[in-house]
Amino acid sequence: MIVIDAASPTPPYEQLRAQLARQIQDRSLAVGTRLPTIRRFAADLGLAVNTVGRAYRELEEAGLIETRGRAGSFVSTAGEHALEQARRAARDYAAVIASVGIDPTEAIRIVEAALGHVSIP
């Protein structure tokens, strides 16, 4: 279930994108699942069509969904590949962190900063 919080400082397209990405990553949306059309999803959520369209475009750019023309948008098998790449990168990063003796909490802050969520003090 997707919930858009109108009072949130996070833009609605980002709330939608993040929730769909999370559902794809935790497999509550399985590979091959057909997503609602942009117009239908916009109407169901009370959002502008362009807002839903932007979320879908960003998910497609990330390889989590694919659009098959008039057939619609589907959860992509490429999303599984992207997740496996991320897992491999995380394992490699953890090995580097351990080998140089960086505290795990600091390692997480470094990743968060790299993702643009926080700045390193």
Give the position of tokens 């953890």: 94
What average pLDDT score do residues 71-86 get? 81
How many Å apart are CA 76 and CA 35, to the nearest integer? 11
pLDDT at 11 over 70: yes
**CA torsion angle for 92, 96, 97, 100 (degrees, to 10)?**
170
Considering only CA atoms, give the Rg of the chain: 17
Confidence of residue 118 (pLDDT cuts 50, 70, 90): low
This prediction's pTM:
0.68
pLDDT at 72 over 50: yes
pLDDT at 85 over 90: no
Structure tokens at 87: 């897992």
